[in-house]
Amino acid sequence: MLRVGGRIAPFINIGRMNTKGKRGLFTLLALVMILGLAGLVQSQGRRFKSPGEQIYYTGIASNGYDIFRYGGPMWIRMHGGGCVACHGTHGRGGVPVMMGMAIPTDIRYKALTGKEKHVHGGKEKEHHYTPALIKRAITQGLAADGELLSWTMPRWQMSEADLDALIDYLKTLE
Task: Give the sign of the dihedral formed by CA 83, CA 85, CA 87, CA 92.
Answer: positive
Closer to ligand HEC by CB, 4 or 78: give it.
78
Q: C-beta of 157: minimal distance to ligand HEC in Å? A: 10
Q: Work out the burial of residue 86: count CB atoms within 10 Å of its CB; fewer than 13 is exposed, 13-18 middle, 19 or more buried.
A: buried
Closer to ligand HEC by CB, 7 or 171: give it.
171
Q: C-beta of 47: minimal distance to ligand HEC in Å? A: 19
Q: C-beta of 129: minimal distance to ligand HEC in Å? A: 7
Q: Measuring CA to CA, which residue among 143, 142, 130 is closest to residue 170?
A: 130
* Chain CA centroid to CA 118, Å: 23
Where helices occur in 116-159 by DSSP H, the ranges are: 131-140
Q: What is the binding site for ligand HEC (CB under 6 A)? A: 72-73, 76, 82-83, 85-87, 97, 100, 102, 104-105, 107, 120-121, 127, 134, 137-138, 143, 149-150, 152-154, 156, 166
